[in-house]
Amino acid sequence: LYRLLPRVSGVNNGLAQINGEWPFVERVAEILRTDDKEYVHSGELPFQRLEEGIRFDGVTLTYPGSTRPAVHNLSFTIPRGSMVAFVGTSGAGKSTLVNLLLRLYDPDTGHIWVDGKDLKRLRLTDWRERIGVVDQDTFVFSTTIAENIRFGRLDADDGAVRRAAQMAQAHEFIAQLPAGYETEVGDRGYRLSGGQRQRLAIARAVIREPEILIFDEATSALDSRSERLIQSAMGELRQDRTLVVIAHRLSTVVDADQIYVLQDGRVVEQGTHPSLLAAGGLYASLWRIQAGSAPAYP
Shortest distance, CB of residue 66 to ligand ATP, whole angstroms? 5
Of 288, 254, 221, 244, give the one whose Cα is nearest residue 85.
244
User: Can you tell me which of 7, 94, 162, 171 binds ligand ATP, judged by CB under 6 A?
Assistant: 94
Radius of gyration from C-alpha coordinates of the chain: 19
Task: Tell me 193's DSSP state.
Answer: P
- Judged by CB under 6 A, does residue 96 bind ligand ATP? yes
CA 4 remoteness from chain centre = 19
**Which element (helix H / strand E) includes 213?**
strand 212-216
Q: Which is nearer to ligand ATP, 93 or 195 (CB)?
A: 93
Contact pattern from residue 24 through residue 53 relative to ligand ATP, giving x for each residue in contact according to CB under 6 A and a dash for the rest: ------x-----------------------
- Rounded CA separation 204/263 (Å): 31
Q: Does 66 bind ligand ATP (CB under 6 A)?
A: yes
The answer to whether 72 and 215 are in contact (CB under 8 A) is: no
For residue 52, the minimal CB distance to ligand ATP (Å) is 26
Q: Which is nearer to ligand ATP, 69 or 195 (CB)?
A: 69
> Is residue 72 at the binding interface for ligand ATP, with CB under 6 A as the rule?
no
Please select the residue that binds ligand ATP; options are 42, 63, 126, 154, rule is CB under 6 A.
Answer: 63
* Integer angstrom CA distances of residue 288 from 30, 193, 196, 285: 34, 27, 27, 5
Q: Is 70 in the site for ligand ATP (CB under 6 A)?
A: yes
Residue placing its CB nearer to ligand ATP in the complex, 144 or 258: 258
Distance CA 277, CA 260 (A): 13
Is residue 107 at the binding interface for ligand ATP, with CB under 6 A as the rule?
A: no
Binding site for ligand ATP (CB under 6 A): 30, 63, 66, 70, 88, 90-96
